Structure 1
Amino acid sequence: MRIRPRRRAVVCPLRRIASACAVLVLVVPAYGCRAEFTPPGAPTPWPSEQARQWQWQWQLHGTLDPAVDADVFLLDPVATTAAQTAELRSRNRRLICQVHIGSVRADDPDASRLPAAVQGSTGRRPGSRWLDVRRWDDLEPVLADRFRLCRGKGFGAVALADADGYAQPSGFPLDFDDQLLFNRRLARLARSLDLSPGLVNDVPQVAALAPDFDFAVNEECVRLDQCAKLLPFADADKPVFHVEYTGSTDDFCVTTVGYGFASIRKQRTLNVWRQPCPLP
């Protein structure tokens, strides 16, 4: 009986070429256009030479307007669609997703994954509860998936909100070092998932955490007389995205732009309206 030689699987080079071309089509919208366009999933770069030249938009509610004249958009990763992020990326906008890492709301899609033992007192958001940041093994899988959602939708950076439970009546005996360890762990987790990490508020820990994070987001440092405490980011040529909800830009822009911040005036609802400070 004649034994036929076993056929070897052959991978067609044309198929490989076609796959590579498909990737290029996704990354570069048109030949020769926007060569600097960053593919989804890559961490957002923050060139030091542009540190004082950013314009930004923070929108969590209302219909997203991709035509806003801003370099950076800070958005809700659940409400924002992949089609919206794709449009913004086609305009060469840098995209930051906001993730609440220290609190959970009952209507969050992943709320059922967090055991009752890690949920404490009422948080600052309506319907939210503070989380026990000492319980890393319980929190890390859930927060990692929140970060993966950001990356999957095309965000390149993540802003960590509610990162100051230690300074709130959280229902847990959290201290400064508990929060510091948790925030640093999350910065490393973000980097491992190809996301640039940013710190929202948590001003008392800025000096300690500035080396671990790529940018800061701050609310009302002028009204609260805290702007000087954000200088560890600005002095390191890292962006400080700052917002005031009251006062006139004619008044506070002089201070914050002088510090090197990217400043805007917003309504507390964080809808589409914004009033930016002029660039220096």
Structure 2
Amino acid sequence: MQTKDLYFDEPSFKPRQRKVRITSILAMITVAFITVLLTVGLGAKLVRTRSESEGFSGLSARSVEPTEDRNNSIWRPGARATWQIVLRHPLELSPNAPAIEPDVDVFDIDLFDNPPSTITALHKLDKKVVCYFSAGSYEPYRSDSFQFLESNLGEPLDGWPDEKWLDLNSPNVRRIMANRIALARKKGCDAIDPDNIDGYNNDNGLDLEAHDSIKFIRFLSQQAQANGLSIGLKNAAEIVSDIESDVHFSVVEECTEYEECGNFAPFINANKPVFQIEYPSKTNFGNVSPNKISRICSNKDDAAGSDGFSIILKDESLDGWAQYCNGEAVRTAILRK
């Protein structure tokens, strides 16, 4: 809002050149003093009005940003936290379940497939909940998939023909992801696990490069923390040094298989967990050979640099089965779709 400058006309009369009484002089001084005070006060009020107006204008321009910061309540997991991950299947967990298998610190579960009651039940069992969703790919079966525009979509993901890479710089894509993060908060999640943010490593059809992922993850981190959620980096070994300080943990698939575990060691050095998944071939419940477990969990050769990682062996279906470096095999109860 614009305001006009205040000014006062010079008086249209000249003071009379005559002797006046002391009381008249005092009266004139008093009136002048009051006038100055009123002028300064009015000017200050107008300045404040303009500043407040500009402030509201600024807020309006930033209306897409979160308006509440819950950083003080954000969960910050420590290195070596134990975990289980179950995707594509909702957990089978009653509201008053006395326990859940396995007895680990963290459960990474699908944001869309699990109701708030499951997350509440996990909290009652003193578990932290990481909610998974794909932030960098279009999945046609998600409830909000109709909101994506054709221009947001790139090439199909290798091995997942129904999924397509997303334009990470699109305002529409970012709006949808901000809404997913808000949903995670509403359901009671402690953190988010946004997948497929490494389109730069693939034939994405959108000319995505590493710097696009860095900017996108920082956007997701801002949104997550404004909603009181921590956030993990999924894979993307090439940008760990750029993004480690913006996230709270790492979720990495097959770093032993691809001999890149050492790239994620900065998380451990910062006392942040690296949740590592390996997919031993032809895995079924409890049949991973001791030799294969030893190779994955050895912190040498292919697994060099994985000291302190939270390692889990999974079937590629990411159902309730899991096995750990101590050989323990578990099965979390799930609901079949």
Q: Please report the TM-score for the alignment, with normalisation by the length of structure 1.
A: 0.79
Is 1:253 matched with 2:297?
yes
| Contact 1:71-1:93 at 8 Å conserved across structures | yes
Deviation, 1:179, is 1.6
Q: d(CA) in 1 for partners of 2:161 and 2:293? A: 29
Deviation, 1:91, is 0.5
The one-letter amino acid of 2:317's match is: T
Is 1:274 matched with 2:309?
no
| Contact 2:90-2:110 at 8 Å conserved across structures | no
Q: d(CA) in 2 for partners of 1:42 and 1:93? A: 16
Question: What's the counterpart of residue 251 of structure 2?
Answer: 217
Question: What's the counterpart of residue 77 of structure 1?
Answer: 111
Residue aligned with 1:274, SS: strand
When the two chains are superposed, the root-mean-square deviation of aligned CA atoms in Å is: 2.0
Is 1:197 matched with 2:231?
yes
Question: What's the counterpart of residue 24 of structure 2?
Answer: none
Q: d(CA) in 1 for partners of 2:90 and 2:144? A: 24
Q: d(CA) in 2 for partners of 1:78 and 1:175? A: 28
| Contact 1:217-1:240 at 8 Å conserved across structures | yes
Question: What's the counterpart of residue 127 of structure 1?
Answer: 162
| Contact 2:86-2:318 at 8 Å conserved across structures | yes
Is 1:169 matched with 2:217?
no
Provide closer, same or farther for how the CA distance between residues 202 and 258 of structure 1 changes in structure 2, counting only shifts above 3 A.
closer
Q: d(CA) in 2 for partners of 1:83 and 1:215? A: 25
Q: d(CA) in 2 for partners of 1:231 and 1:167? A: 20
Q: d(CA) in 1 for partners of 2:254 and 2:73? A: 30
Q: Which of 39, 43, 53 is 2:74 aligned to?
A: 43
Q: d(CA) in 2 for partners of 1:196 and 1:63? A: 22
More deviation in 213-222 or 147-156?
147-156
Q: d(CA) in 2 for partners of 1:116 and 1:63? A: 30
The one-letter amino acid of 1:111's match is: S
Q: d(CA) in 2 for partners of 1:266 and 1:227? A: 17
| Contact 2:89-2:113 at 8 Å conserved across structures | no
| Contact 2:86-2:319 at 8 Å conserved across structures | yes
Deviation, 1:251, is 2.2
| Contact 2:194-2:232 at 8 Å conserved across structures | yes
Provide closer, same or farther for how the CA distance between residues 196 and 141 of structure 1 changes in structure 2, counting only shifts above 3 A.
same
Alignment of 1:91-240 (within 5 A): 91-124=125-158, 125-135=160-170, 137-240=171-274
Higher Cα Rg: structure 1 or 2? 2
Deviation, 1:178, is 1.6
Provide closer, same or farther for how the CA distance between residues 110 and 177 of structure 1 changes in structure 2, counting only shifts above 3 A.
same
The one-letter amino acid of 2:298's match is: V
Deviation, 1:61, is 3.5
